[in-house]
């Protein structure tokens, strides 16, 4: 049998970036493997991504049984959907997740229903199947809790709401990087290839809270990280500059969305306004009009516009 091809990138400090081919395309979602002193996986992706993680372990001459920790930044299914299935093959692994996320992994019915609402007919292709996690496999760290991996390496868990209320970031003492899930937003490697490093917040439905997101970014900045490990997608430096770019955009987006908001539930006007703003910005930075990298920005803005519409629909009730 031919081995599945998987794109791995070796990063300093025994960190390997695994392209988990979310949606079937490269450079959309990454998982990260810390290989030393003990194997730790950050993000499982959804179940269709697991073959890439297992192929990466084989390439690195590791077995699923060697994994000691599996860490999820949050419980959106593109980050966590495969956890229940993967854990069955990793008897030595403890699953680490935010305390607000654990019960939804034990019983994923709500998670599945909520995701179906956002993704509609695409649900089966992108996420099926979502297996539950046995409660005894879970550890839910307190904010600021430190996990000592040995060999002088620690991971610090940071409660970072804003994108969702069940979001953890993980500071790695050795790389001085932060595995930031969706807390900071998205990095666009195809634009970086064009010489335009570009980062945007992500306000996907349904728990976007702009004030909390800004506070979380300040919290990350206070750790003085060297780099950020984005799930979508890749490692990016210098962290301080990226945080300085994304933080003011949160308020800007709320301003744009509020001005474009007409009818409750209608996100399309917000998406069009966000796109006008960022298309202009990208063209001014030298991006070629019509380039596929711009199409991807537009698609991700559509998802963020849905979350902004939901925020404006419900903010007075929060």
Residues that bind Zn ion (CB under 5 A): 76, 182
Query: Contact, 278 vs 256, CB < 8 A?
Result: no
Q: Report whether 233 contacts 300 (CB < 8 A).
A: no
Task: Yes or no: say if 163 and 181 are a contact pair by the CB < 8 Å rule.
Answer: yes
Kindly tell me which of 71 and 282 has the beta carbon lying closer to Zn ion.
71
Task: Compute the distance between CA of residue 294 and CA of residue 314 in angstroms, rounded to an integer.
Answer: 30
Q: Cis bond leading into 28, ω under 30°?
A: no
Nearest residue to Zn ion, by Cβ distance, number only: 76
Q: Between 153 and 310, whose beta carbon lies closer to Zn ion? A: 310
Distance in Å, CB of 238 to Zn ion, minimum: 24
**In terms of CB distance, is 43 or 182 closer to Zn ion?**
182
Let me know: does 306 contact 118? Beta carbons within 8 Å: yes
Least distance to Zn ion, CB of residue 63, Å: 29
Nearer to Zn ion, 172 or 182 (CB): 182
CA 16 to chain CA centroid, nearest Å: 16
Nearest approach, Cβ of 77 to Zn ion (angstroms)?
9
Q: Which is nearer to Zn ion, 38 or 249 (CB)?
A: 249
Q: Is the peptide bond before 202 cis (omega within 30 degrees of 0)?
A: no
Distance set, CA 227 to CA 35, 97, 147, 205, 286 (Å) = 18, 22, 20, 27, 25
């Amino acid at each position: 049998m031919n081995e599945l091809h998987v794109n791995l990138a070796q990063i300093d400090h025994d960190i390997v970036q695994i392209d988990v081919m979310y949606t079937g395309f490269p450079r959309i979602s990454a998982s990260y493997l810390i290989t030393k002193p003990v194997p730790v996986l950050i993000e499982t992706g959804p179940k269709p991504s697991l073959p890439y993680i297992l192929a990466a372990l084989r390439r690195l001459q590791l077995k699923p049984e060697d994994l000691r920790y599996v860490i999820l930044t949050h419980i959106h299914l593109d980050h966590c959907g495969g956890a229940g299935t993967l854990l069955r093959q990793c008897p030595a692994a403890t699953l680490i997740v935010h305390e607000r996320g654990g019960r939804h992994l034990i019983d994923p019915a709500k998670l599945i229903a909520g995701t179906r609402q956002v993704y509609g007919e695409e649900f089966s292709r992108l996420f099926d199947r979502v297996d539950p996690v046995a409660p005894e496999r879970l550890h839910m760290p307190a904010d600021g809790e430190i996990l000592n991996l040995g060999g002088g390496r620690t991971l610090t868990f940071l409660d970072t709401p804003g994108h969702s209320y069940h979001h953890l970031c993980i500071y790695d003492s050795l790389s001085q990087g932060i595995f930031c899930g969706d807390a900071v937003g998205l990095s666009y490697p195809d634009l970086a290839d064009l010489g335009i490093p570009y980062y945007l917040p992500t306000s996907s439905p349904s728990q976007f809270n702009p004030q909390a997101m800004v506070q979380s970014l300040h919290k990350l900045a206070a750790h003085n990280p060297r780099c950020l490990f984005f799930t979508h997608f890749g490692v990016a430096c210098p962290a301080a500059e990226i945080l300085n770019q994304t933080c003011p955009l949160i308020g800007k987006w709320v301003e744009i969305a509020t001005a474009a908001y007409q009818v409750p539930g209608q996100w399309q006007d917000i998406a069009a306004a966000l796109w006008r703003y960022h298309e202009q910005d990208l063209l001014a930075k030298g991006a070629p009009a019509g380039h596929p990298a711009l199409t991807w920005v537009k698609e991700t803005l559509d998802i963020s516009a849905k979350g902004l519409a939901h925020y404006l629909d419900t903010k007075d009730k929060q």
